[in-house]
Structure 1
Amino acid sequence: MRFLYVFFFLCSAYVHAQKPKEVLNWINTAKSENKDFYYEIPFEYRNNEIVIQVRIGGQTYDYIFDTGGYNNITDAIQAKNNFPILTKQTVGSSNKIKKEINIVKVDSLHIGKLIFHDIVALQMNFDESPTIKCTIDGGLIGASIIKNYIWQIDYPNKKIIVTDQISRIVNLKQAVKVPVTFNSRLMPYIEIKINDKKEKMMFDLGSATLFSMTEKIAKKHGIENAITLTGGGTEGGNGVIKEPIYIINSGKVEIKNLLYLNKPIYYTSTNNEPLIGNPIIKDYIVTMNFKDDQIYFLPINESAVNDGWSTFGFTIEYNDGKSKVATLLKDSEAAKAGLQVNDEIVAVDGQKADCLDYCQCKKIYSMLLETKNEITLDVNKNGQTQKITLKKQKIF
């Protein structure tokens, strides 16, 4: 299991002509000329990311909608449009990998009918971030654009409503309203309780895990019984770090009077922010009124019980022409059955494990492992094919 969250922070260690505060002010400024508007924008939930279409330079690109990120463009978009370069800066991603990049001024950016002019963006290269490359051909729509307007994420109907008038959102009377605070980079934070202990967590829709923490914060909640996930790592906009991932039982998580029970909380040694990620949109219609420091959660299914975590305990990736076990949960039924990281998967439920490339396999295998409750693998063990049948296991 790989988890992805992609937000960026400016590092003051490297500056050319501009001071970090001046550059940050550029990036934080994103205003539209649209007034008194209400638009509905379709989105896809692809590779556990919210993907919308954005038009730049007369061409449409797929972008991740990310409350925890900066607006950016790719090297390819910059090569086509040759936007003015304002300065260079060193930036770090969520897993602490740093790179030097250009800060550019984009003359216009369209999200449906919502138009922005002279947007300052980070010029990024996602070549070393395979999940991002499989998901989009553009970049991120980030905090400065999201901060100024009301955005409602309606997962059942796969649409985002954006407006500048909160009165145009009609379904908020039954929703739970939660206050939001922001850091200097306009990233949003909400206060929650984990087993009655207060924590402040970034509300990061660029994160594909429901809950993740820094190692320091995880220790406050007890890591004695943490489960190890081997073979994985953290992926940010600047690349991948292979490292053990640890998982603890959340116990009781309260977001005001909203409740999750016994969910996995992920942490690694490189995590630098506690996060609530975009899987929350599967449980609640989320309305972000960040200009008034508010966020609303409307339950999608009143009878849903957000209790527990079930998994097969492994994931599959396609590399070097073969499908292989990518990650494995220690002491899971998959591990006890003899499955190991890098085992070659010959077939899944009798179908040959064959894909065109990494991206196609990622989509196929993620869907299989999410939707099935029982699975049979043909595994190549030292030249011999071994059948392993597994049922989805409730871990917590």
Structure 2
Amino acid sequence: MNKRLFVAIILMAVVAFFYSKYVRNVPVVIPFEVIRNSIIFDMEIEGETYNFFFDTGAGTIVSPELKDKHGLDSIGNYQMMDFYGNTATITTSTLPELRLNQLSKKNLEVAILRPLQNFQFCDIKIDGILGLEYFDGKVIKLNLRKGELTVATAITFLEEDFGSPLPLTYKHGLKRTHLDIHYSDSTFSENVLFDTGALNDLLRLSNTSLQKLLKDSILNTNNILDTIYINESKGLIGAQNDSINYRVHIPKLKISEYEFLNPVVNTFDSWNESSILGAGILAKGVIVLDLLNDDFYFKPYPDAILDYRSPLDFLTSNGRVLHVKDSSNAYKAGVKKGHLLRVANGIKLDSMSLCEQQTMDWIEFYNQKNIKFTFESEDGQIIYNYTAQEPEND
């Protein structure tokens, strides 16, 4: 009897061991809210839920209101700099526990800072920022289309082939991921910050990098489409300080084994002279950050279009025409730089809420075969009936 009991106990212990190991190795899938290319998590502090913006270019931050509400003590301060070069002395505190679904991080050091409210147009208040240090030693997969974060203890447990990785590097002793990208067919590469805080941009090109690309004849002045004199972008601490920037056409941008064709990017004065790979890449495919082995993976969605060439023959921003192709049908119809786009296929743009405008899939909309545009000019309305060109046969 004692022998049977002993064997039973041993078997139960073995089963418990392997079950515990199995549970530890099963990836955790966590839903998140998507606003264009931005990720917002439901984070829990002492049983209450708050909106945290996921920002790979920042550390974890909680608002002063949350600090006061949960009685967090100040433990120190440090000099913080945002990517526009603005600096401030920031108070730090220790958060006893920060929960994300099944995950929990205890005694997490956080900065106390009022986060940017970039999503007020959708009535979403941001209470804090979630940085990568929350996932130290983990593997995270971001799928924007599904609105899912998958967290695993090793990339093999994701049971999917993500191709060849790019090595991640860190600078200034901070958990901020950097990786190499290549421009056009040249050997010129740049080590850029992967920053989901760059909202909708695929790339924020530093003015220093632009000058290098021009000097090395990788780009030329024909690639500079327009000059931007006013910038309203804001960093975590302050506003963008530069007054003159450019809209630049990049024929080819290579990230890992994939080529992104014809993106149009904006420049900025970077405090460390480097460019930023932004959240725009999340719209094109699944991103995996292996924070155990410091690797970056990108796997395009099956139907992802990596050619950014607009099917339209004009370019707008916030409803205003920025550029019209010479001798194009839009040009012949009288569309000019500065005109206001009011109606597109019956959709009155000024009657849409800002949230609707910001979250609508305009790429899919503008890929329709026929679109009727109505523009407003000083001389009245201009109607332009656009028809997409048929693809050329090989």
Indicate conservation of the 8 Å contact 1:40/1:159, yes or no. Answer: yes
Look up the equivalent residue of 1:48 and give its one-letter code. N
Corresponding position: 1:269 with 2:256: no
Corresponding position: 1:210 with 2:202: yes
Secondary structure in 2 aligned to 1:236? coil
Structure 1 pair 150–352 and aligned structure 2 pair: CA distance change class (3 A): closer
Given the alignment, which residue of 170, 176, 179 partners 2:164?
Answer: 176
Instruction: Give the drift of 1:41.
Output: 0.6
Corresponding residue for 2:83? 94
Structure 1 pair 347–266 and aligned structure 2 pair: CA distance change class (3 A): closer
Look up the equivalent residue of 2:373 and give its one-letter code. T
Instruction: Give the drift of 1:255.
Output: 2.3
Instruction: Give the drift of 1:277.
Output: 1.6
CA distance in 1, matches of 2:189, 2:347: 48
Secondary structure in 2 aligned to 1:309? coil
CA distance in 1, matches of 2:383, 2:126: 37
Corresponding position: 1:309 with 2:296: no
Structure 1 pair 44–350 and aligned structure 2 pair: CA distance change class (3 A): closer
Instruction: Give the drift of 1:83.
Output: 0.7
Structure 1 pair 229–388 and aligned structure 2 pair: CA distance change class (3 A): farther
Corresponding position: 1:118 with 2:107: yes
CA distance in 1, matches of 2:118, 2:325: 25
- Deviations along 1:165-224, one digit per CA (max 9) or x if unpaired, are 33311112x523222111211211111221221211122222221112211111111262
Q: Which has the higher helix share?
A: 2
Corresponding residue for 2:257? 257
Look up the equivalent residue of 2:315 and give its one-letter code. G
Given the alignment, which residue of 118, 135, 143 partners 1:131?
Answer: 118
Q: Could you state the TM-score of these two structures normalised by the residue count of structure 1? A: 0.74
Greater RCO (Cα-Cα under 8 Å, separation 6 or more): 1
Look up the equivalent residue of 1:41 and give its one-letter code. I
After superposition, where does 1:10-21 map in structure 2 within 5 Å?
A: none
Structure 1 pair 111–313 and aligned structure 2 pair: CA distance change class (3 A): same
Instruction: Give the drift of 1:239.
Output: 4.2
Corresponding residue for 1:71? 60
Higher Cα Rg, which structure = 2
Aligned positions, number: 340
Instruction: Give the drift of 1:338.
Output: 4.3
Deviates more, 1:97-106 or 1:211-220: 97-106
CA distance in 2, matches of 1:100, 1:58: 30
Given the alignment, which residue of 194, 213, 230 partners 1:221?
Answer: 213
Corresponding position: 1:386 with 2:381: yes
After superposition, where does 1:199-348 map in structure 2 within 5 Å?
A: 199-207=190-198, 208-222=200-214, 224-225=221-222, 226-228=224-226, 230=228, 231-241=230-240, 243-270=243-270, 272=272, 273-301=274-302, 304-310=304-310, 313-316=315-318, 325=319, 329-330=322-323, 337-338=335-336, 340=338
- Deviations along 1:281-328, one digit per CA (max 9) or x if unpaired, are 232222111221112222321x64522332752233xxxxxxxx5x65
Indicate conservation of the 8 Å contact 1:108/1:117, yes or no. Answer: yes
Secondary structure in 2 aligned to 1:187? coil
Corresponding position: 1:167 with 2:147: no
Look up the equivalent residue of 2:73 and give its one-letter code. P
CA distance in 1, matches of 2:38, 2:189: 28
Percent identical: 16
Corresponding residue for 2:365? 372
CA distance in 1, matches of 2:178, 2:349: 45
RMSD: 3.3
Indicate conservation of the 8 Å contact 1:263/1:307, yes or no. Answer: yes
CA distance in 1, matches of 2:182, 2:56: 21
Given the alignment, which residue of 43, 49, 65 partners 2:38?
Answer: 49
Instruction: Give the drift of 1:70.
Output: 0.7
Indicate conservation of the 8 Å contact 1:107/1:118, yes or no. Answer: yes
Q: Which has the higher strand share?
A: 1
Q: Could you state the TM-score of these two structures normalised by the residue count of structure 2? A: 0.74
Secondary structure in 2 aligned to 1:201? strand
Structure 1 pair 84–51 and aligned structure 2 pair: CA distance change class (3 A): same
Instruction: Give the drift of 1:261.
Output: 1.8
Instruction: Give the drift of 1:43.
Output: 1.6
Structure 1 pair 332–50 and aligned structure 2 pair: CA distance change class (3 A): farther
